[in-house]
Amino acid sequence: MDGEDYGDFVEGRDVFLGSRYFAANLPQDFDPEFGVLLDMVGDRDLDIYVEGNSNRLAPEIIDRVWNIAQRMGFGDVFHRRVDYTMNDDHIPLNEVGIPTIDVIDFDNYPYWHTPDDNTRQGLGLEPRDRRLGHDPADLSRPLGSQAAVDDPLTGGATMI
């Protein structure tokens, strides 16, 4: 069972069990610069909008991820407007000072919470995106860092 779906969202009881535990028990030398929660991004027809709590709690991370997504050629997937506000696993991390965003495709996914919610429905952001050859992890590189990624369209490298 998904811990975030276990409890009562109205009263905030017994939800986000894993992220609340993690936030309350951070390893001693653990000091992340930020966090990115990838949630429901396995859909073939991705449409990722800015999530409201992420925009309120970590706008600089929203800007960073959306700018990188644009440079990587995902401007058609990452839309720069708030479309929904979610209480999700990023909230407890923000509450302990780790600016964290929820990258979620919450639009038009008919398989959500059904037995058909599985990998046969497609993979929107695969470990190596087949459209451009980029790794979704590139979206969460440390602030100010750059990396070269192989660009199959040009045969060279692209700086992100």
Where does 25-151 have alpha helices with state H?
52-57, 59-71, 90-95
pLDDT tens profile 2-19:
555 667 777 777 788 889
- What is the per-residue pLDDT for 147? 44
- What is the per-residue pLDDT for 157? 41
pLDDT tens profile 74-125:
999 999 999 999 889 999 999 999 999 999 988 777 777 777 776 666 655 4
What pTM was computed for the model? 0.72
48-51 vs 100-104, strand pairing mode: unpaired
pLDDT tens profile 18-71:
898 999 999 999 999 999 998 887 777 788 999 999 999 999 999 999 999 999
Angstrom distance (rounded) from CA 116 to CA 110: 9
All domains of the chain in start order, with CATH: 33-159 (3.40.630.10)
Angstrom distance (rounded) from CA 86 to CA 114: 20
- What is the per-residue pLDDT for 114? 77
Angstrom distance (rounded) from CA 160 to CA 157: 10
Q: Which two tokens stand for residue 40?
A: 């429901």
According to DSSP, residue 142 is labeled: P
Query: Greater confidence, 132 or 17?
Result: 17
Angstrom distance (rounded) from CA 32 to CA 72: 24
Angstrom distance (rounded) from CA 133 to CA 156: 11
N-term to C-term CA, the chain: 37
